[in-house]
Structure 1
Amino acid sequence: MINRMTWRTRVKKFINALLAALMVFLIYGMYYSAVHIYHDKSGLNNKFLRSVMTMVELHESGLIVDKRSSSLVEVTPFLTQKKTLNVYKDVGEWQLIVGELHAKKGLWGELTYSIEEQGPYLNRDERNPFYLHSALLEGGKIKDSPHPNDAMNQLEKLEDGNVVELFFSLRTLKSPEQVLELLSGYDVRATNMAVYAGELKEFKPGNYSSSGSDHVIPHLTLRPKVQFGDNHSLSSWHTFFSLDAGITDHVQQLIADVEWMTNNIKYNGVDEDTKRLAYLKKNGVQVYGATVTGPVRELEKLKEEQGFWGFRLGRIEVWNWS
């Protein structure tokens, strides 16, 4: 009799524990579903994606976040948002995947990201290919190029059936319109430009490198315009600049993006971007480098432009140009 009562007590305790575990599981499931629904309906996930796209494309030189992939954002039970996206470059008319972006933001924390590059070569830095010469900081002009045209020598050896990504720096600070005017006589497309926003003159960025009078600095990137609608949802984006369509809208969008970014995102470097924004509002947008893509023979002609220097070769693909 006693053994039977003990067995019944154990069964009852087991059932109670099972019911409690089931209740906890149901409550957790309801909580987790509510978290996902709230983040979707409130626009928090859209805002997170907008933050990631804006931060990466304005700070990484020429990297573009894949905007056609799923907008689904992972939200952990502790309300951390996570997203993995491809990043690519325009080479000719193809979008070449060059890395994988991992972004994360806690409930009250800062937005952080890392990029796993899929570069084909070891020990080759493609993240910042532009040179800012000391003469530009003083409002002057570079009189001669300290760099041989290694990139142009490489282009000469490439066959006609290739398209190339090419970077060049400028001998003087120019407006984006002036750069497009110089490129208008060539069958190439400008995909982004390196913006000068007071670095080393108004303030010193956290990390940069120098070799003689040449500086490689973190900078803002002028990208083709990306627009967001209500609730931070992506509404449209451009793939390259067009002289016929004008570049004013792209420049105005840059100012608006930096303003939105510094006001709405907590991230490492926000203080520097606030200084950049103040400089751009006071002095306007000028650039000191650009990225172009197109047929190899057209890009080779750019060596004749006296205002271009510091050419660097990027990705090379087989012909894909209309």
Structure 2
Amino acid sequence: MHDEIEKQGTDVHRYEDLITEPPKWSKKKFNRMMWRTRMNKLKNAASAVILLFLLYTVYISVIHIYFNTSGVNGTFIRSIITMVELHENGVRVERPANSTIEVTPFLTQKTTLKLYRNVGDWQVITGEIRAKKGVFGELTYSFENMSTYLNKNSHTSFILPASIMFDKPIKDIPRQEGDLEQLSKIEDGNVAELSFSTNTLVSPEHLMGLLAQYNIVVTGMPVYAGELKAFDTSHSVAGGTDYYVPYLNLRPTSGYDDNNELSSWQLYFAAADKGKMSEHVKNLMSELEWMTTNIQYNGVNQDKERLAYLLKNEVQVYGATVTGPVRELEKLKEQPEFREFRLGRIEVWNWDKKYFKRPSS
């Protein structure tokens, strides 16, 4: 019995010898371990961020390369130029050699381009246009005009010929001279921009013939395309007889290549265009058809109605925006066909070239 108890005691002693205490971590060693763990996590996070940045950079680069080489950016710029210049008389959109176009990760194109008007022989910057277009969305844009004066409306307006809206003879409606008196106060040595309306609808060739005797150039003409007769549109009325409507603008021809890159353009109608207005009219129809087919924008359905009207009827205009020396512009009052003169920008003399030859007496 005694031997057994002694044996058990020996066994217990041997079991206790197997029990060891866990190692004790010093505070310094523990902090070192935590620091290493945090650094590993930070390295992993930084690696993930760098990888995502590289993937994003590659993605954006591929998008820009594709948009530039496939003609998508060319189509975007052509859309802006066509939209603005067909709906805004006399205004031009900047034609940069290399357009700066931002493409977002969601494939939205954005750009800002300068707007200018021809005043004499200068292209005078009058504002900016900010445009954007989603990959499957509509083209939208907004203007930021650089107006010299507060509360001045720089938008040229044209009055529809009274014969369109009324059955009364034209002679019963008094002629409105608008800003002609103000124009007469401007000294020699200046050039200006001027717009006017006509009493009747006329062909572009006929209007160019009336202007041929003056030393001026034409930057645009409002086209009648069935507004308020073939279809309804927004409009305003002044004096009970003067109807203002949105209009299409007959502008000088612009040419594009197969990728919709601008290849040629003309700033104004000069003397040589008198016998070539049919080419500019043909270009108008082509641009209008391209615009209504390839662009989604506010007002596309109305432009389709305009196109349908012009395909059935000849293109006629009811005014013009012109520029040249102030004394030449003042002479336009000699034409009884012209009315509602609107004075635009004025600049110092810059008219060295003679665009129109006076007919020999």
Please report the TM-score for the alignment, with normalisation by the length of structure 1. Answer: 0.95
Matches within 5 A, 1:253-292: 253-292=283-322
Matches within 5 A, 1:48-197: 48-68=76-96, 70-137=98-165, 142-143=170-171, 146=174, 148-197=176-225
Distance (whole Å) between structure 1 residues aligned to residue 36 and residue 112 of structure 2: 52
The question of 1:301 aligning with 2:331 is answered: yes
The question of 1:219 aligning with 2:276 is answered: no
- What letter corresponds to residue 112 of structure 2 in structure 1? T
Whether the 8 Å CA contact 2:178–2:340 is kept in 1: the answer is no
- What letter corresponds to residue 299 of structure 1 in structure 2? L
Distance (whole Å) between structure 2 residues aligned to residue 141 and residue 293 of structure 1: 31
* 2:171 match: secondary structure: coil
Q: 2:235 aligns with which of 195, 201, 208?
A: 208
* 1:124 match: secondary structure: coil
- 1:144-203, Cα deviation, whole Å (9 max, x unpaired): 554542421112211111111111100000011000000001111111000100000011
* 2:49 match: secondary structure: helix
Whether the 8 Å CA contact 2:161–2:318 is kept in 1: the answer is no
Q: For residue 289 of structure 1, report the CA deviation from its aligned partner.
A: 1.1
Please report the TM-score for the alignment, with normalisation by the length of structure 2. Answer: 0.85
Q: Which residue of 1 aligns with 2:345?
A: 315
Mean Cα deviation higher: 114-123 or 40-49: 114-123
Distance (whole Å) between structure 1 residues aligned to residue 342 and residue 164 of structure 2: 19
Q: Which residue of 1 aligns with 2:10?
A: none
Distance (whole Å) between structure 2 residues aligned to residue 91 and residue 84 of structure 1: 22
Whether the 8 Å CA contact 1:133–1:213 is kept in 2: the answer is no
Distance (whole Å) between structure 2 residues aligned to residue 213 and residue 101 of structure 1: 33
- 1:246-277, Cα deviation, whole Å (9 max, x unpaired): 21111100000000000000000000000000
Distance (whole Å) between structure 2 residues aligned to residue 172 and residue 14 of structure 1: 78
Instruction: Give ranges in structure 2 of 5+ residues lacking alignment.
Output: 1-24, 353-361
Distance (whole Å) between structure 2 residues aligned to residue 215 and residue 188 of structure 1: 27
C-alpha RMSD of matched pairs (Å):
1.6
Taking structure 1 as reference, are residues 265 and 56 closer, same or farther at Cα in structure 2, changes over 3 Å only?
Answer: same
Distance (whole Å) between structure 1 residues aligned to residue 230 and residue 289 of structure 2: 18
Distance (whole Å) between structure 2 residues aligned to residue 311 and residue 257 of structure 1: 29
- What letter corresponds to residue 189 of structure 1 in structure 2? V
* 1:232 match: secondary structure: coil
Distance (whole Å) between structure 2 residues aligned to residue 11 and residue 155 of structure 1: 77
Q: For residue 133 of structure 1, report the CA deviation from its aligned partner.
A: 3.5
Aligned residues: percent identity? 53
- When Rg is computed on C-alpha atoms for both structures, the one with the higher figure is 2
Q: For residue 19 of structure 1, report the CA deviation from its aligned partner.
A: 0.9
Q: For residue 14 of structure 1, report the CA deviation from its aligned partner.
A: 1.5
Instruction: Give ranges in structure 1 of 5+ residues lacking alignment.
Output: none
Distance (whole Å) between structure 2 residues aligned to residue 154 and residue 26 of structure 1: 62
Mean Cα deviation higher: 15-24 or 138-147: 138-147
- 1:6-25, Cα deviation, whole Å (9 max, x unpaired): 33222222111111111111
Give the paired residue count.
321
Whether the 8 Å CA contact 2:161–2:201 is kept in 1: the answer is no
Whether the 8 Å CA contact 1:162–1:318 is kept in 2: the answer is yes
Matches within 5 A, 1:5-44: 5-44=33-72
Q: For residue 123 of structure 1, report the CA deviation from its aligned partner.
A: 1.9
